[in-house]
Each structure stands twice: as C-alpha cells, then as structure tokens.
Structure 1
Amino acid sequence: MPGWSCLVTGAGGFLGQRIVQLLVQENDLEEIRVLDKIFRPETREEFYNLRTNIKVTLLEGDILDAQYLKRACQGISVVIHTAAIIDVTGVIPRQNILDVNLKGTQNLLEACVQASVPALIFCSSLNVAGPNSYKEIVLNGHEEEHHESTWSDPYPYSKKMAEKAVLAANGSILKNGGTLHTCALRPMYIYGERSPFISNIIITALKNKGILSVTGKFSIANPVYVGNVAWAHILAARGLRDPKKSPSVQGQFYYISDDTPHQSYDDLHCTLSKEWGFHLDSSWSLPLPLLYWLAFLLETVSFLLSPVYRYRPLFNRHLVTLLNSTFTFSYKKAQQNLGYEPLASWEEAKQKTSEWIGTLVKQHSETLEAKSQ
C-alpha cells in the first residue's frame, strides 16, 4: 500500500490525542492533519514535539464550517472522526449537541465526497445501543443482537443518528468516481490518563476529604482503557485500506472493550484511586427505583419551568439508567474482522491511570499550599 494521509477530528481531545500518538508509529503514513475547534497550549506543544518524520499539520476550525472541512479533507486518504460534545447531564443546550454531533458528522461525510476521501472511521458510543432500562440485563452482548437507544436525550440521540448517517454513507460515490467506505466503533466507558470525567470525580473528592460520591453502584460495566480504544481506530483505518480486509469491515460497527474486569463504575473509580487514599461514600443512598422516579419528577419540574426559567436537574432518568445498568459487550467481532487485541493489559492500564491520578492529587496540594502562603 502506498503512502497515505490521515485527518483526525477532535484531535485535541482525550481520545483524539491518543490516536495521534499511535498514528505517528505507522510506517507508511506521510501526513497527519489534526483538527479541533481550539487547541490548548499544552496540546499544541505536544503535537509540535512529536518525534516523527511524518508531517503533522495543526488545523483550528469548526466542524460546522462546511467549506473549511472540504479544504481540510483535500488529499486525505482516511478520516478518523472523534469530534463530539459528550454531555449526559443536560448542561449544554440540546441544539448545540445536535449541531456538533449530527450536523458536524453530515458536513464531514459531504466533505469526504467532495474531496474524494475513500475511508472514514466514526467514533460512536455505547449510548447508541442503550441501556434503555436499568431492569434490562445485557452481559457480553454482541453486534448481531439488536440494541438501540430509545432515549430522546440529545447525546444518545445525536450519536445514534450520526452513526446511522455514517454507515448509510458506505458505498457513496466520490467526486473522482471512487467509493467511500465507512465503519463505526462503539467504545465502552473510556478511562485512562487525562480522562475529563475521572478528573472531575477526583477534584470533587479532593474537596470532600477523599470521599468519592456514589453514582453508579448498581451497575455492571466493562470499561475500556483509552489506549486500547485508540488502537482499535488505527486497526480500523488499516482494515478499510487493506483490499483483502476491507470488504468485511465496510459498513460495519464494532463494540470496543478490553480485558478490564466487569465492575460497577463506582468500583472502577475507587480501584483506580484508592492508592491515594480515596474511598467510596459509605453513607445510605436512595434505592434505585426511588432515584429513577425522583429524576422523573425533577425533569417534569424542569419542563414546566422551561418557558420562564432554565432549571437544570442534578440528574435525569437517562443518567440514572446509564450509571446503574448491567450492560457489557464483547470485542470478539473486532478481534475477528480488525485483528483487534488490547495493547494494554488491565494491570498496565490501572497502574498508568493511578499514577496520573497521583499527579492530580499533587497539583491540588500544591495549589492549596500556594493559597495558604
């Protein structure tokens, strides 16, 4: 296969950065274009300091700017699309989420057709599959089972519709007469160094004497390490470019998990941080059915107040369901079609994440020290 070029959207994000770090190790890659709306100074610095002979081009632009996207896609062989707004709590207005996650994806597909890009990999979400009810139990689910989210909440809805658009675009005729091939990856809950979710959990716990708030103790999940999710995207790019593998990958979606033990979200966060003295809140918590109906009540209040006041409930039914369901999936299909095997073991992933949490603890204590002086 001759030299190729890759555009990564959302490249400044938690997963996007890891994908770029792995891409620079690809032998026949000639250029990586990293696209994000804005890069933090430290991210920009990291991209400039990548030890590689591959050309790395930083692009700051909006995924909603169709003309900009078309220029960004010129001469590109593969697009890896990770740009998204992730919000399951209702902080961000619905329209913003739909614009970026759905309209942005549609813009990108059109840019691929106009610029004759032959391959696109979409980073989807487990939320596309559900869970729809905390009573539903899915253990080691797989792609042949029909799991589809019925939530109208903006994040799961926008990701579901965007994934449908990506898979429907497989086989589209490009401007140069070629064909666009697409696939989608559905990672489990992603953890690892620099996770914005874990960072928030730890910072909140540091302000609360090291007590981790209990949010998902009734769940059984199979979280996935960020490095392994990034690796799956590299393998999907290879798969779509390989004439032998490509027919079995085109138009498909894959659940991406690894060998992290099945556990609750709370237990995961506790395991990753206990070395630094963090522990779960042992005080009494509401029974799950009561929590669910309380969420329904809060949503109703929010809806009734909406004409005059924007009240945002602390939690909603989607979040309660998401954090308290038995919902795990096998990576067997990705193993068969993409040759996916996790790069990092559970022990390695746990150690690296725990070390990073240690740096957050250190930064926090340094900040407190500076304030007290």
Structure 2
Amino acid sequence: MAGWSCLVTGAGGFLGQRIVRLLVEETELQEIRVLDKVFRPELREEFSKLQSKIKLTLLEGDILDEQFMKRACQGTSTVIHTAAVIDVFNVLPPETIMNVNLKGTQILLEACAQASVPIFIYTSTIEVAAPNSYRETIQNACEEEHLETSWSAVYPRSKKLAEKAVLAANGWALKNGGTLYTCALRPTYIYGEGNPFLHGFIDHALRNNGILPRNSKFSIVNPVYVGNAAWAHILALRALRDPEKAPNIQGQFYYISDDTPHQSYDELNYTLSKEWGFSLDSGMSLPVSLKYWLGFLLEMVSFLLSPVYRYQPPFDRHAVTLLNSVYTFSYKKAQQELGYEPLFSWEKAKQNTTEWVGSLVEQHKKALKTETH
C-alpha cells in the first residue's frame, strides 16, 4: 500500500496533536488529514510548519455532518478516530455527549465503508471497563478478564457503545469489495503537557496560595504519558498494515499504560508541580462512603429539579468512584501483539510535564504584572 494517507479526527485535541506529530515520521505516508471542529491559531501555525515535511490538510467541521465526513474519508487509507467529548463530571447535556461519542463514531464508520477505507483505529478509554465500585480492587487487569462498566453515566456509556460499534464493524464489506479492519485502544488516564485537567488544577492552585485540591487520595491508578498513548496508535496502525500481524489485531481492544508509578491522582498532580512550590491541601477529607452517599443525594436533587431547572451537582457517585478506586491495567497484550514499548520513560515524561507546569506559572506571573501596571 505504497503512498498511503491518514485521517486523524480530534487532531486539535490533547492526544490528537501528538499522534499527528508522530505520523509525520511514518514512511511512505503522503498525506495527513487533520480534522476537528475548530483549530486554535497557534495550532494552525504549528501544523503549517509540518507542511514542509508532508502534505497536511486541515479540515474544520462537525463530526455529525455526514456529507462532510464522507468527503473527509474519500481517498483515505486509514482513520485514527480520537475525537470525543470527555466529560467525567456531567457538565454537558447528555445528548451532546451521546451524539458526538456514539453517533459521530457510527457516521464515521459508515463514511469509511462508503469511501472504502480499510483501517480504522478507535481511541477508547479504560472507563469502558472500570471502576464499578470504590470497594472493588482491580490490579494489573488484562484484556482476557473482559471487564465492563455497569455505570449508566453518559460518558462511559457513550464510549462503551461506540467501542462496541467499532469492533462489530471489523470485517465489514467496503464499497470497492475490500474489507474494513478495526481495533480499539483503551488508554489509562492520560497526563502530560496540555492536559486540560492538570491545567485546571494548576489554575485553581495559583488562585489559592499554591494549594492543589485533594479529591482522590484513596485512588491507585497507573496513568499513561500522552507521548506513549500517541505512540501506541502509531504501532496499532503499523500492525494493521502488516499482513502478518494484522489477523491477530483485527477486532481486538488493548489497554495502554506505561511505566509511570502506580499512585493516586493527587500524588501525580503533586509530583508534576511540587518543583514550582505547589503543595497538596492538608485539610480533612470526608470518608469515601459518606462522599458517595452525598453524591447520591445531589443526584436526587438534580433529578427532582430537572423539570424546572438544570442543577449541576459538584460531584456524583460516578465521580466519587472514579476518583477513589484502585484500578490499574497491564499493557502486556499491546506489548506482545503491537510491539508496544513506551517511547518515553517516567523520568522524561515527568520532566516534560513539570516544565510545562512551569510555563503556566510564568504565564500567571506575567498576567499579574500586567494587571498591576
């Protein structure tokens, strides 16, 4: 398949950008189509610099626009589908999340069938698998355990249904008589430069005497660095294009983690920012069981008010479970079948992210100086 091309959806996002940067180095790749609803000016500038190395086409539009998606797929040999609405705190209307995450994926699969795109890689999430209960301990889970979320919370449900649709599409007949081959990657919590959650925590701490919020001290997770999550997509792509490896990978899903130490989300935030003088809130925290039932009461209030008012609870039972559970995952299957080894060590990932946090601190200082003059 000499002279191939690749479409990346969600290319303006935290993970999508990194995938695009790695794709530029792929041999015989003639064109990268980068698709998102809107690209920030600084990202447009960065992508335009990459055009000296490869043909890079910017596509701005809505994933729910069927005609736009058909045009985007026409003449493409691979799709990496990272576009999604990530909403673990139910801030957005449920229909928005379901539309983008599930319906958008279904529209893209149909577009691939019509445009005869043979390879489709889906960015899923470990939230399709776990955690279901903060009382449950999941350590080094592997794909063979077939863990599945039982939450009706809209984000994990939308991703679970979308992943099922992608894996069920493996083996579809394409318009040109070929076959569609799919796989899904389930990264653990992705951290690194540009992470919107870490950005939010740092902003909060900068307005609060350098004190980071503490809301997950009982969790034990194994986060993955964004550069390694992106690298796994490149390896999945290579494997699906390799006639020898492809049959084992078609229709499969893979957990993607790396060698970042197992720790709580709070510890991770602290480790990545302590160099700049940040500290964790040392105040008392409620027992998880009490917080869980408080979440339930807040959900009830939201439900009772829903006919007249959209009340957004500060947290719910799903968020409490997510932030206070022990759930870690092994990347052994990805290692064996995709040839995945982390591209970045924990030390390098920590250094890169810490430097980025430092740049946020500098921006904050400059903004304060501007305000005082």
TM-score by length of 1: 0.99
Q: CA deviation at 1:3?
A: 1.9
Percentage of matched positions with identical amino acids: 71
Task: Give the Cα separation in 1 of the matches to 2:205 and 2:82.
Answer: 29
Task: Give the Cα separation in 2 of the matches to 1:128 and 1:369.
Answer: 45
Task: Give the Cα separation in 1 of the matches to 2:239 and 2:2.
Answer: 15
Instruction: Name 1:176's counterpart in structure 2.
Output: 176
Amino acid at match of 1:55: K
Amino acid at match of 2:258: D
Task: Give the Cα separation in 2 of the matches to 1:151 and 1:267.
Answer: 26
Instruction: Name 2:245's counterpart in structure 1.
Output: 245
1:26 maps onto 2:29 in alignment: no
Q: CA deviation at 1:130?
A: 1.6
Q: What is the aligned length?
A: 373
Task: Give the Cα separation in 2 of the matches to 1:150 and 1:174.
Answer: 33
1:123 maps onto 2:123 in alignment: yes
Give SS of 1:297's match: helix
Give SS of 1:299's match: helix
> Equivalent residues in 2 for 1:102-113 (5 A)?
102-113=102-113
1:355 maps onto 2:359 in alignment: no
Q: CA deviation at 1:50?
A: 1.4
Task: Give the Cα separation in 1 of the matches to 2:371 and 2:49.
Answer: 33
Instruction: Name 1:271's counterpart in structure 2.
Output: 271
Amino acid at match of 1:329: F
1:254 maps onto 2:254 in alignment: yes
Give SS of 1:49's match: helix
- Out of 114-123 and 47-56, give the one that drifted further: 47-56
Residues 52, 241 of structure 1: CA spacing in aligned structure 2 closer, same or farther, 3 A cutoff?
farther
Task: Give the Cα separation in 2 of the matches to 1:283 and 1:196.
Answer: 25
Runs of 4+ in 1 over 6 A off after TM superposition: none
Task: Give the Cα separation in 2 of the matches to 1:135 and 1:23.
Answer: 41
Q: CA deviation at 1:127?
A: 0.6
Q: CA deviation at 1:311?
A: 0.6
Q: Deviations over 1:1-56 (max 9, x none)?
A: 41210000000000000000000011210000000000011111110011643210
Q: Deviations over 1:264-312 (max 9, x none)?
A: 0000000000000011000101011000000000010010000011110
Amino acid at match of 1:340: Y
TM-score by length of 2: 0.99
Q: Is the 8 A contact 1:113 1:174 kept in 2?
A: yes
Amino acid at match of 1:346: W
Amino acid at match of 1:9: T
Give SS of 1:144's match: helix
Amino acid at match of 1:250: Q
> Equivalent residues in 2 for 1:189-338 (5 A)?
189-338=189-338
Instruction: Name 1:38's counterpart in structure 2.
Output: 38
Instruction: Name 1:147's counterpart in structure 2.
Output: 147
Give SS of 2:200's match: helix
Q: Is the 8 A contact 1:125 1:187 kept in 2?
A: yes
Give SS of 2:334's match: helix
Task: Give the Cα separation in 2 of the matches to 1:62 and 1:214.
Answer: 36
Amino acid at match of 1:228: N
Task: Give the Cα separation in 1 of the matches to 2:275 and 2:112.
Answer: 47
Amino acid at match of 1:210: G
Stretches of structure 1 that go unaligned for 5 or more consecutive residues are none
Task: Give the Cα separation in 2 of the matches to 1:65 and 1:133.
Answer: 37
Q: Deviations over 1:105-159 (max 9, x none)?
A: 0000000000000000000011100201001111000000021011111100000
Task: Give the Cα separation in 1 of the matches to 2:85 and 2:167.
Answer: 20
Stretches of structure 2 that go unaligned for 5 or more consecutive residues are none
1:161 maps onto 2:140 in alignment: no
Task: Give the Cα separation in 2 of the matches to 1:3 and 1:136.
Answer: 49
Instruction: Name 1:100's counterpart in structure 2.
Output: 100
Task: Give the Cα separation in 2 of the matches to 1:87 and 1:176.
Answer: 38
Task: Give the Cα separation in 2 of the matches to 1:300 and 1:319.
Answer: 15
Q: Deviations over 1:239-260 (max 9, x none)?
A: 1111011001100000000000
Q: Is the 8 A contact 1:210 1:278 kept in 2?
A: yes
Q: Is the 8 A contact 1:217 1:266 kept in 2?
A: yes
Q: Is the 8 A contact 1:24 1:52 kept in 2?
A: no
1:367 maps onto 2:367 in alignment: yes
| Pairwise CA RMSD | 0.7
